[in-house]
Amino acid sequence: MTSIVINVKYNVSSSFTIEVDTDWNVWKVKGEISKRIKLPPEEIQLIFTGCVLKNDATLKDVSICNCTVIHAFQQKPLIVTAKCISADTEDVKSGKANRDVHHFFVYCKEQCQSLCPGKLRVKCAICCEGHIVLQREPENFDDVMKSGTILCECKSEGCQGNLQTTQFYFKCASHSSELDTAPVLRHIRPNTKNIECLTCSTVSSPLMVFPCDKSHVMCIECFRSYGIVRLNDRMFIEDENHGYSLPCPVGCENSLLQDAHHFYLLGEEQYERYKRFGTEEYVLQNNGVLCPFPGCGAGILIEDSCKQVVCHNCRFEFCRQCLNSYHGSSECRPQLLEDNTQGYQVDEEQELRARWDQESLATIEEISKPCPGCCTKTERDGGCMHMHCSRCQMEWCWLCDREWNRECQGNHWFG
């Protein structure tokens, strides 16, 4: 047995820690909690990540580890709860329960300072407590990143009985503390389809999947090289919706990365350059100019009719049209800028192999899967990874091909 300490929150003003073993089931944990809050175990409900824990599930099955926070509330009649089924004990013993697929990836800025597997967590947006039961499960990134998409029934003292907005957040899977959050990288995915990199032809995981119609993919190292080359040539694109971003290397339309956090992957020094260049590009897109004096480069927003510009930073006086020293009323020539619009060179055959949704036999085989309980052929048409067999009633994970459990919920609830 492994002894751990967990944090129990009973209401807004009451929390305490208890020492338990990971092999204990939830009913035994309720027995320990009942000694502290003076309620019978049968009247206690425990919530973790938006679902009520079943009495026969062990702490190991539901991925409760040291310093985990769980929420307790008094059981009331007619509570409709989301079902969560723990991993089968025999699967745990045989090692089958270790086939976990991390579907979410974050950039851990605090401790790891690198790309890491992420965990999806949820709480009430009003009281920020986890005493909640979700009305439905998330099916895509819009569900978890747009406020108000999914409601919850909050069981905490201040919100009890009310429907509240649900707040989803991501954390680094390497840390036990629920307080450490990390930005999710929505375009990074595990290479479950063994797709080759667009540039180097290697098969690696995780990888970058561009949001174009053909979903071209690149390994992380090639994406880092691609980003730095484009940054050196100042060939990022300023977009009203996505900011200063990169498109698919093939040149596909509507393929800009939708979150600037992905450029953390370029490294700290390059990310600082990215932010600086993005600010400068914003100035240029809004009819401004950059000071041409060596070592300055300050951004200046000016009126359309202004020809004489004085830099507020270095006091250099220059002509807006030719960016040379101001020359009064004499004519000037605009500077000839080097053409950097040549496309990124991609091999045509490799481009066909580097599509996430390529029409191949391997992809066709993934259209349907047998239920792990009764082998009924099942097709997943969108939604979350939590499957419910209509024949044998088994709840199972589309990615792991086993009973739905807390690791599935935290690692790849949707995708």
In angstroms, the CA 117 to CA 64 distance is 17
Angle formed by the axes of helices 220-232 and 268-285, nearest 10°: 50
Print the domain residue range for 278: 207-319
Residues 115 and 181 in one domain: yes
Residue 25 falls within a domain, yes or no?
yes
Active site residue 384: yes
pLDDT of residue 367: 67
Counting the structural domains of the chain, the total is: 4
What is 163-194 written as a DSSP string? EEEEEEEEEETT---TT----B-TTEE--TT-
Q: What angle do CA 11, 406, 131 make, to 5 degrees?
A: 15
Residues 109 and 184 in one domain: yes
Instruction: Record the pTM.
Output: 0.61
Residue 93 falls within a domain, yes or no?
no
Residue 395 falls within a domain, yes or no?
yes
Q: 261, 290, 319: which is the final residue of a domain?
A: 319
Residues 120 and 45 in one domain: no
Could you tell me how far CA 99 lies from the centroid of its own chain? 21
Residue 367 is encoded by which pair of tokens? Answer: 């259209």
3-state class (DSSP) for residue 226: helix
Residue 170 falls within a domain, yes or no?
yes
The letter for the amino acid at 326 is Y
Residue 73 is encoded by which pair of tokens? Answer: 């509330």
3-state class (DSSP) for residue 20: strand
pLDDT of residue 36: 86
Partnered with residue 407 across adjacent β-strands are none
In angstroms, the CA 341 to CA 301 distance is 26
Residues 119 and 78 in one domain: no
Residue 351 falls within a domain, yes or no?
no
Residues 143 and 46 in one domain: no
Catalytic residue among 154, 384, 400, 408: 384
Residues 303 and 211 in one domain: yes
Maximum CA extent, the chain: 92
Asked if residue 199 lies in contact with residue 249, where contact means CB atoms within 8 angstroms, the answer is yes
Residues 166 and 220 in one domain: no
Q: 132, 154, 188: which is the final residue of a domain?
A: 188
3-state class (DSSP) for residue 273: helix
Residues 19 and 114 in one domain: no
pLDDT of residue 89: 36
What is 235-272 written as a DSSP string? --EEETTTEEE---TT--TT---S-GGGGGGG-HHHHH
Residue 91 falls within a domain, yes or no?
no
Residue 373 falls within a domain, yes or no?
yes
pLDDT of residue 13: 63
Q: What is the CATH number of the domain that holds 29?
A: 3.10.20.90
Q: 158, 188, 218: which is the final residue of a domain?
A: 188
Alpha helices in 233-375 (DSSP H): 268-285, 348-353, 361-365
pLDDT of residue 98: 42
Residues 173 and 122 in one domain: yes
Query: Which of 219, 228, 261 lies closest to 109, judged by CA?
Result: 261
Which DSSP letter does residue 89 get? H
pLDDT of residue 85: 32
Residues 306 and 256 in one domain: yes
The letter for the amino acid at 33 is I
Residues 373 and 270 in one domain: no
Residues 214 and 313 in one domain: yes
Q: Which residues of the chain have pLDDT under 50?
A: 77-99, 336-343, 360-361, 364
Length of the chain, please? 415
Q: What is the CATH number of the domain that holds 314?
A: 3.30.40
